[in-house]
Amino acid sequence: MRNEENGTPEWAVSRRTLLQGTAAAGVVLATATSVATPGEAAPATDGAKGLAPVVMEQVHLTVNGKAQVLTLDARTTLLDALREHLHLTGSKKGCDHGQCGACTVLADGERINACLSLAVMHDGREVTTIEGLAQGDALHPMQAAFLEHDGFQCGYCTPGQICSAIGMIAEHRKGWPSWVTADLTAPHPELTDLELRERMSGNICRCSAYPNIVAAIRDAEGKIPA
């Protein structure tokens, strides 16, 4: 049926009504949760029944050699904890799906995708980001090699590339094989260009600086202390 005055359908929603409803929904969502003490769920308000409560957790991290205590939503990723709470923005948020490697950091020396890992999973661990590699004005050998060999163009993926390369070399020195390792029984597989490219395949450079990245890693390999 149509309204006799203006001919519009009775079910039609006016722009004013739509905006008022949207604003009301925003207020409900904004007040749905309150901050709780670590380990406790924040109670939902009457207007937020059915929404999952927020659980806050206290997380202890050593980041770039400095002890940090953060109270975080248990769903906070390590990447967001680093970028949004500690303001260490060197680690980049690229795909946010663990596909590009721009967020790679080192956790107890092992490379991980920080966007796929919850901060609470790393309670008590030592995390190193690109900001923690240099010693004062002295660059880490991998950083210096990337500069020497022009292993970057736009630079967005570079922090993840460098952290991943450092973690990759540590894995190789432990004798970890890769998908292309011919002899799985070899205690120390040769780090050929094919091996190197395969082991770094989780880090994407959309500028395609791959030849220079390989050259940089090759140069830095012998300069990183065992």
Q: Is residue 191 part of a domain?
A: yes
Q: How far apart are the first and last CA of the chain?
A: 80
Task: Please check whether residues 110 and 62 belong to one and the same domain.
Answer: yes
The CATH number of the domain holding residue 164 is 1.10.150.120
| Of 132, 163, 197, the domain-final residue | 132
Q: Is residue 109 part of a domain?
A: yes
Task: Please check whether residues 84 and 116 belong to one and the same domain.
Answer: yes
pLDDT at residue 120 is higher than 90: yes
pLDDT at residue 58 is higher than 90: yes
Query: What is the bridge-based pairing of β-strands 110-113 and 126-128?
Result: unpaired
SS (H, E, C) 88-139: CCCCCCCCCCCCCCCCEEEECCEEEEHHHCEHHHHCCCEEECHHHCCECCEC
The CATH number of the domain holding residue 73 is 3.10.20.30
Question: How many domains, the chain?
Answer: 2
| Of 100, 132, 164, the domain-final residue | 132
Q: Is 48 helix (H, G, I), strand (E, B) or coil?
A: helix
Task: Please check whether residues 74 and 126 belong to one and the same domain.
Answer: yes
Q: What is the predicted pLDDT for the residue at 32?
A: 47
| Of 132, 150, 170, the domain-final residue | 132
Alpha carbons within 13 angstroms on the beta-carbon side of residue 10 total 4
pTM: 0.78
Task: Please check whether residues 174 and 208 belong to one and the same domain.
Answer: yes
Give residue 175's pLDDT band: very low, low, confident or very high (50, 70, 90): very high
What angle, 0 to 180 degrees and rounded to 10, lies between the N-to-C axes of helices 141-148 and 210-221? 140
Q: Is residue 198 part of a domain?
A: yes
Q: What is the domain extent for residue 167?
A: 141-221
Least confident range from 138-147, 176-185, 197-206: namely 176-185
Give residue 29's pLDDT band: very low, low, confident or very high (50, 70, 90): very low
> Which residues, in sequence order, are bridge partners of residue 138?
135
Task: Please check whether residues 99 and 147 belong to one and the same domain.
Answer: no
Q: Is residue 26 part of a domain?
A: no
Task: Please check whether residues 68 and 113 belong to one and the same domain.
Answer: yes
| 104-107 β-sheet, strand order | 66-73, 56-63, 126-128, 104-107, 110-113
Q: Is 60 helix (H, G, I), strand (E, B) or coil?
A: strand
Q: What is the predicted pLDDT for the residue at 42?
A: 57
Q: Give the percent of the chain with pLDDT over 70.
A: 78
pLDDT at residue 20 is higher than 90: no
Q: Is residue 120 part of a domain?
A: yes
Q: What digits encode the pLDDT tens for the residues 72-88? A: 999 999 999 999 999 99
